[in-house]
A = this chain, B = another copy of it.
Amino acid sequence: MSDLTHFNEQGRAKMVDVSDKQETVRIAVACSSIEVNRLIHSQISEGTNKKGDVFAVAQVAGIMAAKQTSSIIPMCHPIPLTGVNISFQWDIDESAGRYVVRIEAEAKTKGVTGVEMEALTAASAAALTIYDMCKAAGKDMVIGPTYLQHKSGGKNGDYDRS
């Protein structure tokens, strides 16, 4: 006699069906950041990091990671990204010795699911790449907070972080 329990009805994972969702233009913006020390700040700013131009490499890393999102995040649907844009901005408080790189990643598609994960993955990969390129000058860097800033497109309405 067989035990007929189907295990997927007991809480395991599936990639949910989105066949019926509408194809629309969808945009998501995610933010992350990485706090670095004074030495790392000057290496990045003056282009003296021995591994190369930190922001240039981090930007490419973020864009390429965005395209790999559905192979990194298991239940994430593959979608054809139509655009990715990543920017960096220094947020510096010299007196407090605080040097923070603000990372903003925008992802865009014309597809059936949102691109929140693509934007979040891009921002995370960019931050991790900065960590990698600068870690010889200090391993105390802290990444995050990382969060969704904005989302538009799709039937659930827009989202803006308050």
A12 to B86, CA, bound (A): 9
Inside 8 A of A159's CB, which chain B residues have their CB? 139
CB of B52 within 8 A of CB of A86, answer: no
Q: Does A50 contact B (CB under 8 A)?
A: yes
Interface residues of A in 35-54 (CB under 8 A from B): 47-53
Q: Is the interface of A mostly helix, strand, loop or mixed?
A: mixed
Q: How far is the CA of A47 from the CA of B71 in the complex (A)?
A: 24
Whether A124 sits at the interface, judged by CB under 8 Å, is: yes
CB distance from A23 to the nearest CB of B (A): 9
Report which of B60, B72, B110, B146 forms a contact with A65, defined as CB distance below 8 A: B72
CB within 8 Å of B: which residues of A? 1-9, 11-19, 25, 32, 47-53, 55-57, 59-61, 63-68, 70-93, 108-112, 116-117, 120-121, 124-125, 127-129, 131-133, 135, 139-148, 151, 159, 161
